[in-house]
Structure 1
Amino acid sequence: MDAALVMGVRGLPGGSSLAKLLAEHRGVRNKQALPQLATEQIREWIEAYHERTGEWPKPGSGLIPESPGETWAAVNTALARGGRGLPGGLSLYGVVCECREVTVFESAD
C-alpha cells in the first residue's frame, strides 16, 4: 500500500505515503516529519509542567499535554542529539536548571 501511495499506482496520484496519509486523516504522528522544536517553547512546556505538578519534568515524565504526541524523552533526545531545529549538546536537565533559576529570581521580587 505504501509503495502504491508513493509511486502513484492502482489509481493513486503518487507523492504520498502511508505515514503521510495517517498523519493527515487520523492524526498519527509521522516520525519522519516531526515538528521543529525551540528551546523557548520547551521552557514554556517546562514551566507549565511545574505549574501543574509542582515538580520539574524528567525524560521519563511522559507526554507533554501542550504538544500532543510529544514526550519529555523525545525532547531530551532532540536536545542532546540536535535536529528538529535544535543545535544538540543540550539536555532536558540543563534547560530545567535554567528555568529553575528564572523561577527563583522572579519569585524573589
Structure 2
Amino acid sequence: MKSTRRQFMAVSAVSVASLVTAKVAYAQPMLGEGEPQAVALGYKEDATAVDKAKFAKYQDGQRCDNCQLYTPKDAKAGACSVFPGKLVTAAGWCNLWVKKAG
C-alpha cells in the first residue's frame, strides 16, 4: 500500500490528539505517608510534623518545594524524582531532601 501525504497528515493529527488526550486524562495520585517507600524515607505531607529525634538531618525551612528533586505541578503539589508516578505536597519533606541549587 502506497502512503500519501494526506494519509500521513491525517494519521499524524490523530496521533497528536491521542497523546494530548492521554496526558490530560492521566492524573498522578498523591503519595501517601503510609506507603512503604514514603515510610522508609520519613516522608511527611507537612514538614513541620517531621520527628526531629528520628530524622536529625531535618532543619526548619526544608520543604519539598525548595528541594532539588522536586518539580512543581501547581502551588500545592509536584513531582519528585524519588517517588516516580506520584505527587508530593509542596509543604512536605523526606530524608533525601537536597538544597535547590541557585
Q: Could you say which TM-score interval applies, normalised by the shorter chain?
A: under 0.3
Structure number having the greater strand percentage: 2
Structure number having the greater helix percentage: 1
TM-score normalised per structure 1: 0.26
Bigger relative contact order, structure 1 or 2, given CA contacts below 8 A and separation 6+? 2
Structure of higher CA gyration radius? 2
TM-score normalised per structure 2: 0.27
